[in-house]
């Protein structure tokens, strides 16, 4: 910081000397201009010292926390995080399986069956049951009742993955 200001002052002196030598301005004007230039450099030095002393050029603890979080935790889509929570909750509780994950799986199955096979999930035809398989049909059938024991274990994540793979193959 100091070196830059000293170098600027020396450069200003060289310019002032060149102006005097070339006769482009009178001595009084060059001296006044150089004094004004040095005053500007002094102001820059004072502002920098004041900022450093006050801590204004330091980042706040909030800014540091945000930067640290961005480096360590890249943001993920909120929908992805929500679906991940639903999958975990559905493995823990039969109620969450019925209320949270089942509607998503039904929507996927309805779309895949209609688009790829021209079938309607809620019709429950033998073709639909065959395409889904017995376990997936039992989970997605339209008249599936709410679980009696809401706290009973849901469907294991590995089993959920197998059923989703079956849906993807439709």
45-94 pLDDT, tens per residue?
999 889 888 877 788 888 888 888 777 766 788 899 999 999 999 999 99
Rounded Cα distance between 132 and 140, Å, is: 9
In sequence order, what are the residues at sequence separation of 6 or more whose Cβ sits closer than 8 angstroms to the Cβ of residue 156?
A: 91
Flag whether pLDDT at 159 surpasses 90: yes
Number of helices (H), then strands (E), belonging to the chain: the values are 9, 0
**Residue 97 contacts residue 88 (beta carbons within 8 Å):** no
The neighbour count for residue 112, using CB atoms within 10 Å, is 18
């Amino acid at each position: 910081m100091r070196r830059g200001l000293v170098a600027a002052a020396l450069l200003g002196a060289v310019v002032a000397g060149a102006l005097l030598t070339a006769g482009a301005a009178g001595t009084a004007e060059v001296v006044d201009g150089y004094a004004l230039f040095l005053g500007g450099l002094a102001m820059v030095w004072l502002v920098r010292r004041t900022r450093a002393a006050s801590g204004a050029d330091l980042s706040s603890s909030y800014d540091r926390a945000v930067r640290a979080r961005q480096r360590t935790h890249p943001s993920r889509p909120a929908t992805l995080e929500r679906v991940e929570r639903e999958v975990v909750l559905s493995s823990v509780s039969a109620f969450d399986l019925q209320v949270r994950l089942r509607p998503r799986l039904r929507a996927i199955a309805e779309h895949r069956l209609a688009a790829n096979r021209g079938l309607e999930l809620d019709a429950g035809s033998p073709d639909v049951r065959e395409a889904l398989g017995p376990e997936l049909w039992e989970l997605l059938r339209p008249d599936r009742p709410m679980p009696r024991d809401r706290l009973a274990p849901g469907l294991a994540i590995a089993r959920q993955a197998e059923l989703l793979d079956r849906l993807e193959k439709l």
